[in-house]
Structures are given as structure tokens and as C-alpha cells.
């Protein structure tokens, strides 16, 4: 991240990050290290390669390793988990998605609670899947949970962080929407399709997508890490202006200067994606009320802003 990255002051001195090889984790680690003043410890499942890594066991069976990995940390950011859109949702892969989140969060939360001096803040991954499908109805953090696999998973996922909260650690559940990035994540799969002129609306196109630029997501994490930030509990990490899939399709075509003539029928999506197709065509209109009330400023408030910013990212 550049030196003008917002929320650079009052950050913790020692931060541990899981999922540091992923899209968001990698960007956060790079941002914190580029600024200087914050030591970042990547938690990895293999043998550490240097003193900036520490081994942890997301199954929780090696509790001693997990406790040791977090010693001396002021903050923990837990982002590890199997990709939701990486593979078809077979029964086995759904179990892997669930275990990678619930067991991993339990292991980290228990290790936090076991520290002689616990970290001040624990940012723990979650998802807007918590709300289920909201249709045209806008929801914020005060809304209750929905139904379905992702809604049930998100409730379990968030509940697994409870040991850290009980230990007095400010615990934030990061209910993340679709992250707009040039490489990686769901949007990283969309860009090549639209560049080839093969993009189009999905299903009827009326479903809302709640998206956030990668830059804003990392800035929000920095904002939540600040020592004087008092936010705890669920926080929606989405842009302030959800757009329908039809609107997103128009933006992609306009920004990339490509036609968007090929709508994908819902039946075809179900054939290719299986149960996950319900989440592609389901509508989630989620607002970042708590971030905005706390004074966070979005650099890319609209989908068009986020897509334009993603295209300006350097190639990696």
C-alpha cells in the first residue's frame, strides 16, 4: 500500500494474521509492512520459513503451538478459510468450508483467551451470508440471521469467537461482501470473462450485490485495528451503494469497453455451480451502517468506483 493509505496512526505494534496468503490477508500484510512501525506475524500451517512466520494448527489439536504463535501480539486478524466459490458444493466440500472456519476460529479464540496478556483486538472473518437473501430490502448490522447454508455457517463461525470476547478482547466479526479486485476472489474470475466480451447478467439480473473494493476493505481493517476504535461485534464490510447484477453488468461493459450481450440463465448456473448458484442469483442488499457511523470514509463508494480502482491495480 502507498504511503498515503488512510488510518496509519494508532495501529498495534504486533499483529498476527491468518489467511495471509489469500486475497485480503496478503493485501493487509503488504499494507502494514509498507507503512512501517507494525510488526506482522503470518500464521502458517507448515514449518515457518523465517522469524516473520509462526506455525499454528487450525484443527486446534496442537493448542501449545497456537498459544505460542500469538505470544506478544497486540492484535489478531483471522481470515483463514476454504474458498466458498472455489469448487462445486458437494457434501464433502461444504463440510470443509464449515470446518475450516468454525474449527479454525475456535482454535484462534482459545489461544487468544489463553494468553497471559491477551491482545487488545481480535478481527475475525465472517460474511454477509449471515443475513440470507434479503431481496430488495436493505439490511444493516441490526438485522437478524437468515436461513440457508451460508447463514447457518456464519452464525456458527461468529459464535466460535466467543472465548476471545469472554476474555475481555474487543472482538469484531467482519461480515464481508464481494471484494472487487483485479486478481483473486469472485471478481477476479469475472474480469477475464467480461474482457473477452462474454459477460452478461446472471439470471434475471435484479439481485443485489453488496461489494467493496479491496482498497476499502484493507482500509476498513486498519480503521478497526486502531487503538482508539471501540467498535465490537458485527461490522459489515460492504460499500455504501449496493447495485443490482444488471447494473454491475452495465458497469463492467462500460469500464472495459466490451459488449454484455450474453445473459446466463439461472438453470445453466444451477447446472454448472450446483447449490452455490442460489447465492449467485440470490439478492443481498447490505449496508455498512456501523462503519459509516464510526466515521469511516470510503475511497470507492460505488461499484463503478471499485471496478475502476481494481483495473488500476498493478499486475502481479
Question: Of 108, 118, 18, 119, nearest to 74 (Cα)?
Answer: 119
Domain-by-domain residue ranges, the chain?
A: 14-311
Per-residue pLDDT of the chain (316 residues; tens, 9 = 90+): 443 467 776 899 999 999 999 999 999 999 999 988 899 999 999 999 999 999 999 999 999 999 999 999 999 999 999 988 777 888 999 999 999 999 999 999 999 999 999 999 999 999 999 999 999 999 999 999 999 999 999 999 999 999 999 999 999 999 999 999 998 888 888 899 889 998 889 888 999 999 999 999 999 999 999 999 999 999 999 999 999 999 999 999 999 999 998 887 767 666 655 666 676 678 999 999 999 999 999 999 999 999 999 998 876 5
Q: All 3 cell numbers of residue 291? A: 462503519
**DSSP annotation of 314:** P
Q: All 3 cell numbers of residue 79? A: 481470515
Class of 14-311 per CATH?
alpha beta
How far is 23 from 178, CA to CA, in rounded Å? 12
Q: By the 8 A CB rule, do 174 and 22 touch? A: no
Amino acid at each position: 500500500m502507498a504511503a498515503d493509505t488512510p488510518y496509519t496512526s494508532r495501529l498495534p505494534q504486533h499483529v498476527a494474521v491468518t489467511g495471509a496468503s489469500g486475497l485480503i490477508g496478503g493485501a493487509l500484510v503488504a499494507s502494514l509492512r509498507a507503512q512501517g512501525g507494525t510488526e506482522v506475524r503470518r500464521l502458517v500451517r507448515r514449518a515457518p520459513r523465517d522469524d516473520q512466520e509462526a506455525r499454528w494448527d487450525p484443527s486446534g489439536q496442537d493448542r501449545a503451538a497456537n498459544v505460542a504463535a500469538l505470544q506478544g501480539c497486540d492484535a489478531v486478524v483471522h481470515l483463514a478459510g476454504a474458498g466458498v466459490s472455489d469448487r462445486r458444493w458437494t457434501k464433502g466440500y461444504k463440510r470443509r468450508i464449515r470446518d475450516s472456519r468454525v474449527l479454525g476460529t475456535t482454535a484462534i479464540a482459545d489461544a487468544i483467551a489463553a494468553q497471559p496478556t491477551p491482545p487488545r483486538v481480535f478481527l475475525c472473518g465472517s460474511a454477509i451470508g449471515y443475513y440470507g437473501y434479503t431481496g430488495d430490502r436493505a439490511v444493516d448490522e441490526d438485522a437478524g440471521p437468515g436461513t440457508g447454508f451460508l447463514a447457518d455457517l456464519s452464525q456458527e463461525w461468529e459464535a466460535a469467537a466467543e472465548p476471545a470476547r469472554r476474555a475481555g478482547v474487543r472482538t469484531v466479526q467482519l461480515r464481508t461482501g464481494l471484494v472487487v479486485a483485479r486478481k483473486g476472489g469472485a471478481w477476479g474470475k469475472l474480469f477475464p470473462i467480461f474482457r473477452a466480451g462474454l459477460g452478461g447478467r446472471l439470471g434475471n439480473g435484479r439481485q443485489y450485490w453488496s461489494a467493496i473494493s479491496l482498497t476499502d476493505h484493507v482500509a476498513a481493517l486498519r480503521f478497526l485495528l486502531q487503538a482508539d476504535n471501540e467498535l465490537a461485534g458485527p461490522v459489515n464490510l460492504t460499500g455504501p451503494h449496493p447495485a443490482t447484477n444488471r447494473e454491475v453488468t452495465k458497469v463492467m461493459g462500460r469500464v472495459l469497453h466490451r459488449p454484455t450481450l450474453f445473459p446466463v440463465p439461472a438453470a445453466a448456473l444451477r447446472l454448472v455451480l450446483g447449490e452455490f448458484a442460489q447465492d449467485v442469483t440470490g439478492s443481498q442488499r447490505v449496508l455498512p451502517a456501523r462503519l459509516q457511523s464510526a466515521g469511516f470514509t470510503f475511497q470507492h463508494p460505488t461499484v463503478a468506483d471499485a471496478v475502476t480502482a481494481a483495473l488500476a491495480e498493478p499486475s502481479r
